[in-house]
């Protein structure tokens, strides 16, 4: 079952390659994601690491060039990462020189865009979390260099958000300056909305100028308004700033604690606290950030509790007596018309419009269980085994359950989430086996905690509406098959990296007590964070516990089924077989068209892959060939732990995996970052 998804396939033109970096590693697409007077930012892709990137092209005049070249790069968690930068022709003295900069990509946009899309709760939990991260970045700027650096343009437009984890990063250092005792910096040419009066007072200013701007940035987040909007002209704005008169919207802040915190940042520069002092303030010291992860781990006790809970849930759904009470959901009454539903606590909200669709459960004559999967970009279906262990085919009528995935928001933690609704029909409610499988998926996922397994934050059953609701991580880049169709990678480094991560996730499942067999390892159940290149295993609808060494359940999801399934006796190594075919599909999808990939699926459905097919897919790489052969062995198949030692996924040298940055002066280009 799909744990999360992304919106439908983007228009093909968005992924048309318009430019390639000199080293061939980065490509620039046609899609513009930001634009200003001297810079244009495009969507792009790192073909080596398999990550989405932002490609910024900036035109600067020659008299600005030396200033641009002097700014440092900042490899901190809360500051934008610069991967690469170059100037065509290497002619720094030329006028209108175009500088190309490759940085991290943020699918959630900047903080201004982010808060305009989402509504935060009144606890200010997310705001406090963001404040901590912004102050951490400022502390690094102000203290971690031989000469302190002042950003001078701190505002929500220059703070970027990873909505998947709620991380924010400080970017755009176009007005940043080193504080040098031999110089007096009193000029400024930015937008004045969050400008400190220190800069306009014709006097020297220090790091405290950023603290003032930080206080007004908090006010921007709270109000979602343009500061000083009460002023009719830019001149009046500057006059208010010089007089140290705050924006009128400050007086509408009702929360006394946050008002005290903002006022502290807006003091006279001599009394203004440093970034590290603010991190110790009581407003931020209260660690009331509610945990989104509910994982408690796998044990005999938690497995038994899960089984009892599932039995009670199924009994209640089927109309039998049960003492179980669970949270329900209700329609949203927010002023935001996009919100159509929330959980009872109102922590999670669901927006209108599907972003994906999971599997559909088919019920037929009370004897067979059939599973249909609509593969993005095609119209493919595949068969599974029913109770009599026969291959079966079906049409798309008589659906009994459909999973629909919606985008949502955790307005406490401030992160984007995927809300999966499984709609049940009367036919399905009569099938205890499938009902238990559907109820168990969310319960199992909430027990798991691994960086390569999709997180499930919450779940509940709406017994009146007959729906199962599950809140999981949101992946705007979609699943791995979608990702490979949108982007073409270079070489096998990304596939090796993804294989390593998938194996670590599988190994985690297999190392539990009792062991967990996923039974549905396919590229559509591997989800991608395009901003980092990380992947996670989802889709646990067919997972089961392996308590006696072998499993005899024949209901499986993966179209990549090993021969053990036909015998009805198998162990955790069936996941290794499915993983091996996933690796082949990654190679195949990167080399071939969508139509050819569908042909691969057809071969699998009709009889699986033999080594002739393997040779065809991996014919240009001996390591891929031997690695996949090991995964698809009929006997003596290696474990995930053993495969992690294989040369194909062995860790690469650090100099190949670290972000590429330029040495000497080019290493310090940061002016055109967003």
pLDDT of the residue at 4: 47
CA separation (Å) from 498 to 562, 574, 582?
A: 22, 19, 11
The answer to whether residue 123 scores a pLDDT higher than 70 is yes
Which of 53-62, 320-329, 598-607 is least confident? 320-329
pLDDT of the residue at 540: 92
CA–CA distance, 263 with 272 (Å, rounded to integer):
10
Residue 81 pLDDT class (50, 70, 90 cuts): confident
Which of 54-58, 346-350, 374-378 is least confident? 374-378
Of residues 312 and 506, more confidence is placed in: 506
Mean pLDDT of 143-159: 86
The answer to whether residue 53 scores a pLDDT higher than 50 is yes
Mean pLDDT of 39-55: 93
Q: How many percent of the chain have pLDDT more than 90? A: 36
Q: How many percent of the chain have pLDDT more than 70? A: 70
The answer to whether residue 16 scores a pLDDT higher than 70 is yes
Tens-place pLDDT, residues 586-598: 887 766 665 666 6
CA separation (Å) from 287 to 124, 284, 291, 402?
A: 12, 7, 11, 40
DSSP class of residue 14 equals: G
The answer to whether residue 627 scores a pLDDT higher than 60 is yes
Residue in the structure block whose two tokens are 């109102």: 346
DSSP class of residue 668 equals: G
The answer to whether residue 367 scores a pLDDT higher than 70 is no
CA–CA distance, 516 with 14 (Å, rounded to integer):
40
Residue 585 pLDDT class (50, 70, 90 cuts): confident
Strand partners, 364: 368
Mean pLDDT of the chain: 78
Please give the model's pTM, rounded to 2 decimal places.
0.82
659 by DSSP, 3-state: which? coil
Greatest Cα pair distance, the chain, in angstroms, is 86
> 125-143 and 208-223 helices cross at what angle (nearest 10)?
160
Residue by residue, DSSP assigns 358-402 as EEEEEEETTTEEEEE---TTS------B-TT--B----S-SEEEE
Alpha helical stretches, state H, 294-446: 300-317, 426-429, 432-445
Which of 291-305, 444-458, 637-651 is least confident? 291-305
CA–CA distance, 560 with 571 (Å, rounded to integer):
15
The answer to whether residue 249 scores a pLDDT higher than 60 is yes
**Which two three-digit tokens encode residue 417?**
């989430």
pLDDT of the residue at 348: 93
CB-based contacts of 668: which residues, under 8 Å, 6+ apart?
69, 70, 71, 72, 73
Segment holding 56, helix H or strand E:
strand 51-60
Tens-place pLDDT, residues 492-548: 889 999 999 999 999 999 999 899 999 889 898 999 999 999 999 999 988 988 876
Nearest Cα residue to 614 out of 632, 596, 634: 632
**Domains, the chain:** 124-287 (1.10.510.10)
CA–CA distance, 242 with 197 (Å, rounded to integer):
5
The answer to whether residue 290 scores a pLDDT higher than 60 is no
CA–CA distance, 536 with 631 (Å, rounded to integer):
20
CA–CA distance, 500 with 498 (Å, rounded to integer):
5
Evaluate whether 421 touches 468 at the Cβ level (below 8 Å). yes
Most confident segment among 152-156, 213-217, 284-288: 213-217
Most confident segment among 173-177, 384-388, 464-468: 464-468
The answer to whether residue 88 scores a pLDDT higher than 90 is no
CA–CA distance, 620 with 598 (Å, rounded to integer):
21
Strand partners, 371: 361
Residue in the structure block whose two tokens are 């080594």: 611
The answer to whether residue 283 scores a pLDDT higher than 90 is yes
CA separation (Å) from 477 to 5, 49, 501?
A: 8, 15, 17
Evaluate whether 476 touches 418 at the Cβ level (below 8 Å). no
190 by DSSP, 3-state: which? coil
pLDDT of the residue at 661: 39
CA–CA distance, 464 with 453 (Å, rounded to integer):
31
User: To 10 degrees, the CA torsion angle through 271, 277, 283, 289?
Assistant: 160
The answer to whether residue 264 scores a pLDDT higher than 90 is yes
Cis peptide before 110 (omega within 30 of 0): no
Residue 281 pLDDT class (50, 70, 90 cuts): very high
pLDDT of the residue at 564: 76
Which of 159-163, 184-188, 334-338, 413-417 is least confident? 334-338
pLDDT of the residue at 612: 54
Mean pLDDT of 205-215: 91
The answer to whether residue 666 scores a pLDDT higher than 50 is no
CB-based contacts of 553: which residues, under 8 Å, 6+ apart?
544
Residue by residue, DSSP assigns 533-593 as TEEEE---TT-EEE-SS-B-------S---THHHHT-B-TTHHHHHHHHHHHHHHHHHHS-
pLDDT of the residue at 663: 32
Which of 25-29, 37-41, 275-279, 390-394 is least confident? 390-394
CA–CA distance, 403 with 545 (Å, rounded to integer):
23
């Amino acid at each position: 079952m799909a744990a999360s998804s992304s919106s439908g396939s983007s228009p093909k033109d968005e992924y048309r390659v318009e430019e390639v970096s000199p080293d061939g590693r980065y490509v620039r697409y046609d899609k513009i994601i930001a634009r200003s007077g001297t810079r244009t930012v495009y969507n792009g892709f790192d073909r080596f690491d398999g990550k989405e990137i932002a490609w910024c092209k900036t035109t600067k005049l020659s008299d600005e060039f030396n200033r641009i070249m002097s700014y440092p790069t900042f490899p901190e968690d809360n500051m934008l990462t610069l991967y690469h930068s170059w100037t065509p022709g290497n002619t720094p003295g030329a006028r209108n020189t175009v500088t190309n900069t490759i940085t991290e990509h943020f699918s959630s946009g900047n903080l201004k865009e982010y808060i305009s899309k989402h509504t935060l709760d009144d606890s200010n939990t997310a705001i406090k979390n963001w404040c901590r991260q912004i102050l951490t970045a400022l502390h690094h700027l102000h203290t971690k260099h031989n000469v302190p650096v002042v950003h001078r343009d701190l505002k929500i437009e220059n703070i970027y958000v990873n909505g998947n984890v709620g991380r924010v990063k400080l970017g755009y250092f176009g007005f940043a300056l080193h504080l040098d005792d031999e110089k007096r910096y009193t000029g400024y040419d930015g937008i004045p909305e969050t400008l400190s009066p220190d800069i306009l007072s014709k006097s020297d200013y220090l790091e405290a100028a950023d603290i003032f701007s930080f206080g007004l940035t908090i006010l921007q987040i709270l109000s979602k308004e343009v500061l000083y909007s009460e002023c009719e002209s830019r001149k009046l704005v500057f006059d208010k700033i010089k007089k140290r008169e705050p924006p009128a919207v400050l007086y509408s802040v009702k929360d006394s604690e946050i008002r005290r915190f903002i006022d502290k940042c807006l003091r006279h520069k001599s009394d203004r606290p440093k970034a590290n002092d603010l991190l110790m303030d009581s407003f931020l010291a209260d660690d009331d950030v509610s945990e989104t992860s509910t994982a408690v781990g796998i044990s005999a006790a938690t497995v038994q509790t899960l089984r009892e809970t599932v039995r009670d849930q199924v009994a209640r759904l089927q109309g039998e007596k049960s003492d179980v009470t669970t949270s329900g959901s209700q329609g949203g009454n927010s002023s935001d018309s996009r919100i159509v539903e929330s959980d009872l606590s109102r922590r999670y909200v669901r927006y209108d419009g599907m972003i994906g669709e999971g599997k559909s459960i088919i019920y037929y004559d009370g004897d067979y269980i059939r599973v249909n999967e609509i593969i993005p970009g095609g119209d493919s279906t595949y068969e599974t085994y029913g109770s009599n262990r026969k291959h079966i085919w079906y049409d798309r009528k008589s659906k009994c359950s459909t999973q629909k995935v919606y985008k949502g928001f955790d307005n406490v933690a401030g992160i984007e989430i995927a809300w999966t609704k499984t709609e049940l029909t009367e036919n399905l409610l009569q099938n205890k086996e499938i009902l238990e499988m559907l109820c168990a998926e969310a319960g199992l996922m909430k027990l798991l905690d691994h960086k390569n397994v999709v997180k499930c934050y919450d779940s509940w059953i709406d017994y009146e509406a007959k729906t199962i609701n599950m809140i999981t991580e949101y992946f705007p880049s979609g699943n791995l098959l979608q990702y490979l169709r949108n982007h073409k990678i270079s070489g096998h480094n990304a596939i090796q990296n993804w294989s390593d991560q998938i194996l670590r996730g599988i190994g985690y499942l297999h190392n539990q007590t009792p062991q967990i067999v996923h039974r549905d390892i396919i590229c559509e159940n591997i989800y991608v964070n395009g901003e980092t290149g990380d992947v996670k295993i989802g889709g646990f609808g067919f997972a089961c516990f392996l308590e006696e060494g072998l499993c005899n359940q024949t209901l499986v999801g993966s179209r990549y089924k090993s021969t053990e399934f036909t015998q009805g006796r198998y162990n955790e190594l069936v996941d290794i077989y499915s993983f091996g075919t996933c690796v082949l599909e990654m190679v195949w999808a990167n080399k071939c068209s969508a139509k050819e990939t569908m042909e691969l699926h057809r071969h699998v459905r009709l009889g699986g892959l033999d080594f002739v097919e393997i040779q065809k897919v991996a014919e240009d790489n001996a390591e891929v060939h031997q690695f996949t052969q090991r995964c698809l062995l009929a006997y003596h198949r290696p474990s995930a732990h053993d495969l992690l030692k294989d040369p194909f996924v062995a860790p690469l040298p650090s100099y190949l995996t670290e972000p590429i940055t330029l040495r000497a002066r080019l290493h310090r280009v940061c002016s055109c970052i967003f």
